Chain A
Amino acid sequence: MRITDFLKSRNFVVGKILTTIFCLAALISFFWTPFPVDGVDIPNKLQAPAWPYLLGTDHLGRDVLSMIMAGARVSIAVAVLAVGIGMLVGVPLGLAAAANKGKLLDEIIMRGNDLVFAFPSLVIAILITAIFGASAVNAIIAIGIFNIPVFARITRGGALSLWERDYILSARVAGKSSTRISLEHILPNVMNLLIVQGTIQFSLGILAEAGLSFVGLGVQPPIPSWGRMLAESQTLIYTSPYLALFPGMAILLTVLGLNLMGDGLRDLFDPKLREARR
């Protein structure tokens, strides 16, 4: 299978389209939404989907389509930043652990990893927001913390096998420090792994943000978020089911898009799997 064939593969294309749609919606929402996102308009509350409110209005008369567009922005921002935290902290830790394999540093990092993994993430996220208050920043931190061990582990795993390669050994013999080797030779070669994992963590981040917002601990009003829209729709589900339908679909499709893309990327980067596909 050639790369060009692959890029045409159904999963990847579907994933790319879905992801692009939501990223575009988020971008456009910075400049334009059909209605003001926080435009409370009580006389027009709970309008069913129809022109001019294509996806209807919520209990405060706000346009659902506008809120979903702006909500994409929040979801994407929180998830991207959480992945960023995970990479920024996790990747150096993983590189350091691999470079010091079997030594105390490696042991400490890996034990620390296991410890973070052992904590129930959602419960801790709730605790964190209870401690520091509910806000987007704290949601990012809470989700980001649990991304750290993921990236540390995957980096270490990838790096360990690279350290046994000949060209690394020769670089070592040539007197390069292990930090330089890690940055110059190891990091570029684990990048593929990181991108694939990054996509997956990105989609998990969107789900986590939705969950936190659903219990009221994500970004605060009047900034809309998909999870909070769903939470607010719960009591209106009999009379205005569309309020529960659209934000849920938005989450589902975004996460699905990212996962399909991630799978596609993994197949692309992983020669062994490509072989297996043949």
Chain B
Amino acid sequence: MKQYFRSAALTTAVLLAGGVSLAHADSVTVGLQLEPPHLDPTSAAAGAIDQVVYSNVFEGLTRFYGDGSVNPGLAKSWQVSDDGLVWTFNLQEGVKFHDGTSFEASDVVFSLDRARAEESTNAQKALFSTIASVEAIDDQTVQITLSEKNGNLLFNLAWGDAVIVAPESIENIKTNPIGTGAFKFADWVQGDAITLERNAQYWGTPAHLEGATFKFISEPSAALNAMMAGDLDAFMGFPAPENLALFEADPRFNVLVGSTEGETILSTNNKMPPFDDVRVRKALAHAIDRQAIIDGAMFGYGTPIGTHFAPHNPDYVDQTANSDYNPEKARALLAEAGLGDGFTTTLKLPPPSYARRGGEIIAAQLRDVGIETEITNLEWAQWLEEVFRGKDYGLTIVSHTEPFDIGIYARPDYYFQYENADFQELIAELGAVSEPEKRSELIAAAQKTLSDDYVNGYLFQLAMLSVADSRLEGLWVNAPTQASDLTSVRWMK
């Protein structure tokens, strides 16, 4: 009798447990900080678009995995001609768009031609600048001809801005995206959430989840409360690092700490006096205590960097010693530049907390060596207008999240206004080289140049911080590109 009761109780417990996990088994609700303005990744920069649709709804010829590697996507294989100019891609067979139309070489031609066209509003048009023509050889084969050698082509094609769209559904792509991915777009309540459902006709390994809801919560405190109250199953890119210890201490949650491609830097207006003097920029670099910023602004999450390059990249060169924290040296350098009495400059801060908090810490550190800063907090739209396009700033803090973006320093009109012919030559050379060893050499030289020129204050590599229900697995830990790839996410049984 006793035995019977025990087993009955056990069964009930198992049933209850099973019931709980069953309710969860088929879908997830994932929190994201930013809502996309629309859902066409090929006509806007918003990382928030990729965050929802990349790999889930839309796929490209190649695709990023969570470890940052570039892998076959809609192209299963490719060959390149000896001169490196003609690339032939063999496409996956039996692929259907979500509206039932089939995916063919003509769709690739359409997508790439649309992205690089004159009137295109693709935000990363530069990715396609070396493409001379795209032709369909047959339904399953596409040939891309380049105007010059481009060692980055496969990498470029993996971006969310290069995904394949269909001419049949292009008109309404912004509100009803039709792709080839493992999830179909289902519903969007603007200002609130986007729902995806599993694509039963998916050509590859089908998704484990029946459906997924992305919920947009911009306020860090609301994100915290929603996770704590159990309203969300996961939050990708959790905006309040101060709470991770809280989540770690709670068995309900898993904290995922990974890397992003975001070099967080104290951008400096290189053409604005006194920052046109390298000694002043060097003084800035030595006045900054990176560890204090990482501890204070990010609660310890983040890797110090000494140049504009991601530390997890094999080609990274550690240059942090070149700009170690040394206020004495900073003061001496300022005196040498004739600014012994200090000076005043502007520090314009965009919304993310790394910038707002980091800004207050940096302001205190700079004050310590005699540099006064006037802090202005800006929204992104204002930041773009004033700082990025207007170049009306002394200092600003921003994380450059595009992968492998050291090339921006070769653009003298970029908002840092850094002009160095040698560096520009290095980058030009890099674009034409595909031998790995030679590339590493050039990349190292470029990193050293930036570090020695103290172009910007290099602070830290932004960490990818996510919080998830501890029973959820398969989420990306790192963020090689902005994405929340749910194709292999599932509830642990």
Contacts and interface: CB of A to CB of B under 8 A. Distances in A.
B240 A235 contact: yes
B360 A42 contact: no
A59 B354 CA distance: 13
Contact of B296 (A38, A59, A236): A59
Q: Which of A38, A221, A237 has the most CB of B within 10 A?
A: A221
Contacts of A40: 296, 360-361, 364-365
Q: Which of A38, A59, A235, A237 has the most CB of B within 10 A?
A: A235
Interface in B422-460: none
A222 B296 contact: no
Chain A: interface residue count, which band?
20 to 34
A235 B361 contact: no
Interface string A234-270: 1111110000000000000000000000000000000
B359 A221 contact: yes
Interface in A128-169: 130, 133-135
Nearest to A240: B242
A38 B365 CA distance: 11
Contact of A134 (B224, B242, B365, B377): B377
A221 B379 contact: no
Contacts of A38: 360, 363-364, 367
A183 B37 CA distance: 56
A61 B357 CA distance: 12
Main SS class of interface, B? helix
Contacts of A135: 376
Given A133-B376, A237-B221, A239-B246, A39 B364 contact: yes
B382 A133 contact: yes
B382 A59 contact: no
Contacts of B228: 238
Given A40-B364, A42-B292, A60 B357 contact: yes
Contacts of B365: 40
Interface string B378-389: 110010000000
Interface string B216-253: 00011100100010000000000010110110000000
B378 to A, nearest CB: 8
Contacts of B375: 220-222
A45 interface: yes
Given A60-B296, A220-B377, A222-B375, A235 B242 contact: yes
B459 to A, nearest CB: 14
Nearest to A237: B221
B26 interface: no
B246 A130 contact: no
A37 to B, nearest CB: 11
B208 to A, nearest CB: 32
A216 interface: yes
Contacts of B224: 234-235, 238
A271 B367 CA distance: 57
B42 to A, nearest CB: 30
A238 B364 contact: no
Nearest to A61: B296
A7 to B, nearest CB: 44
Contacts of A134: 376-377
B295 interface: yes
A222 B379 contact: no
A246 B377 CA distance: 24
B217 to A, nearest CB: 12
Q: Which of A42, A236, A238 has the most CB of B within 10 A?
A: A42
B220 A234 contact: yes
Nearest to A59: B242
A66 to B, nearest CB: 14
Contact of A235 (B243, B359, B377): B243
Interface string B97-118: 0000000000000000000000
Contacts of B382: 130, 133
A236 B299 CA distance: 12
Interface in A191-234: 216, 220-222, 234
Given A40-B365, A134-B377, 12 more contacts: A38-B360, A38-B367, A42-B361, A130-B379, A130-B382, A133-B376, A135-B376, A220-B375, A221-B359, A222-B360, A235-B240, A238-B228
8 contacts: A42-B296, A60-B296, A134-B376, A221-B360, A221-B363, A234-B219, A234-B221, A238-B243
